[in-house]
Amino acid sequence: MGKIELMSEDLANKIAAGEVVEKTMNVVKELVENSIDAKSNEIKIELIDSGIKEIIVTDNGIGMDKEDAILAFSRHATSKLKTLEDLFYINSLGFRGEALPSIAAVSNVNLKTSNGEFGTEVEIDGGTIKEVKSSDLKKGTKIIVKNLFYNTPVRLKYLKSPYTELANIVDYVNKMALSFPNIRFLLVNNEKILLNTDGKGNLLKVISNIYGIDLAKKMIPIVGENEDYEITGYVSYPECARTTKNNIIILVNGRAIKNSEILKVIIDTYHTYIPESKYPIIILNINVDPILIDVNIHPTKMDIKFSKIDTLKDLINTTIKNKLESINLIPEIKSNLSIHNYHDDSFQKQNLNANINEDNIDNKQSENNLLEYPLDIDSTYNINDNDINISKLSKNQQNMNYLETKNENRIKKMYPVGVVHATYIIAENEDGMFIIDQHAAAERINYEKYLEKLGSNDNTNIELLVPIKLEFSNKDFIILKENMYILLNMGFVTEEFGINTVLIRNHPYWLPNYAIEESIRKIIDIVILTENFDKYKFIEKVAATLACKLSIKANDRITINDMEDLLERLRNTKNPFTCPHGRPTIITYSNYELEKLFKRVMN
User: Which residues sit at the interface with Zn ion, rule CB under 5 A?
Assistant: 443, 548, 579, 581
Which strand (E) or helix (H) includes residue 274?
none
Query: In angstroms, rounded to a whole number, what is the distance separating the alpha carbons of residues 425 and 105?
Result: 68
- DSSP letter at 245 equals G
Q: Residue 207 or 543: which CB sits closer to Zn ion?
A: 543
CB neighbour list of residue 556: distance below 8 Å, 6 or more residues apart = 422, 438, 439
Min CB(442)–Zn ion separation in Å: 9
Q: Comparing C-alpha atoms, which of 140, 159, 152 is closest to residue 26?
A: 159
Min CB(272)–Zn ion separation in Å: 9
CB neighbour list of residue 538: distance below 8 Å, 6 or more residues apart = 486, 526, 527, 530
Q: Residue 315 or 324: which CB sits closer to Zn ion?
A: 324
Q: Residue 411 or 579: which CB sits closer to Zn ion?
A: 579
CB neighbour list of residue 534: distance below 8 Å, 6 or more residues apart = none
Q: Comparing C-alpha atoms, which of 169, 112, 106, 172 is closest to residue 142?
A: 112
Q: Residue 275 or 467: which CB sits closer to Zn ion?
A: 275
- DSSP letter at 354 equals H
Min CB(540)–Zn ion separation in Å: 13
Q: Comparing C-alpha atoms, which of 38, 49, 171, 180 is closest to residue 114?
A: 38
Q: Going by DSSP bridges, is the β-strand pair 42-48/184-189 parallel, antiparallel, or unpaired?
A: parallel
Q: Residue 146 or 581: which CB sits closer to Zn ion?
A: 581
Q: Residue 229 or 447: which CB sits closer to Zn ion?
A: 447
Residue type, 174: N
Min CB(439)–Zn ion separation in Å: 6
Q: In degrees, to the nearest 5, what angle opens at C-alpha 77 toward C-alphas 74 and 78?
A: 160
| Local structure of 466: helix, strand or coil | strand
Q: Residue 194 or 548: which CB sits closer to Zn ion?
A: 548
Q: In degrees, to the nearest 5, what angle opens at C-alpha 554 toward C-alphas 550 and 560?
A: 90
Min CB(468)–Zn ion separation in Å: 24
Q: Residue 258 or 553: which CB sits closer to Zn ion?
A: 553
Angle between helices 162-179 and 203-211 (to 10 degrees): 160
Q: Comparing C-alpha atoms, which of 393, 545, 357 is closest to residue 454?
A: 545
Do 265 and 313 contact (CB within 8 A), yes or no? yes
Q: Residue 248 or 548: which CB sits closer to Zn ion?
A: 548
Do 377 and 350 contact (CB within 8 A), yes or no? yes
Q: Residue 155 or 278: which CB sits closer to Zn ion?
A: 278
Other CB atoms within 10 Å distance of the CB of residue 545:
18
Which burial class, exposed, middle or buried, applies to 81 when counting CB atoms under 10 A from its CB (0-12, 13-18, 19+)?
middle
The distance of Cα 451 from the centroid of its chain, to the nearest Å, equals: 29
Min CB(548)–Zn ion separation in Å: 3
Min CB(82)–Zn ion separation in Å: 54
Min CB(174)–Zn ion separation in Å: 34
Alpha helices (H) in 38-161, listed in sequence order: 66-71, 100-105, 153-158
Min CB(556)–Zn ion separation in Å: 12
The distance of Cα 155 from the centroid of its chain, to the nearest Å, equals: 32
Q: Residue 106 or 547: which CB sits closer to Zn ion?
A: 547
